[in-house]
Amino acid sequence: LRLRGRMRNGRLNVSQSEVVESIHTTSPNHALGEQRQLVMLFNFQDQPNNKPWTADYIRNLLLNDVNQYWQHVSYGQTWITGDFTGWYTLPINSTDCQSNMRLAAENGARALGYNPDSYSHKIYLYPSGGCRSKGGSTWTGTDSSGNFTSSIYLSGTATLYSLAHEF
């Protein structure tokens, strides 16, 4: 972009502009297009009634609020879709810090008819407590076929900020 004009009080008053070069890329960008998620809402066997959010609240938060945010900041190039398991209870305690929570959560989703292996993006959403402090983290990588994958872990927090930030 080439701009012409005069500086006045620290601002450029543009009188003429032109595009001098347009850059196009042919490399795939995993952050563009549909971002299909599997959202797993679960709690622990020592706190089976601890469900701090409704499934509808989470669905609305992700598919409306977070989706609108990412559509806006990506100029319509990124949008979110997803499947939601609803609440289920893992066969581990919230204080069991040695357990494989990811595997237990994915096995719980399988028991409900979902195949976590068919999703590149997974969100693990659960109440905080025990050895699982409140907060979030995102892990990214590639699967055995070289496809981009992401796993978002949100413990005790489900807000527009926390989900949009970790997304």
Tens-place pLDDT, residues 33-85: 677 889 999 999 999 999 999 999 999 988 889 889 888 888 888 888 899 99
Long-range contacts of 49-53 (CB under 8 A, 24+ apart): 50/127, 50/129, 51/87, 51/127, 52/127, 52/156, 52/158, 53/125, 53/158
Res 28: pLDDT: 60
Tokens of 30: 């995993």
Q: How far apart (Å, rounded) are the C-alpha atoms in residues 13 and 74?
A: 28
Statement: the pTM of the whole predicted model exceeds 0.85: no
Nearest to 52 by CA among 62, 41, 60: 41
Q: How far apart (Å, rounded) are the C-alpha atoms in residues 63 and 163?
A: 11
Measured CA angle at 102 (ends 96, 107), to 5 deg: 105
Q: pLDDT per residue over 12-36, tens digit each?
A: 677 877 766 554 444 466 677 677 8
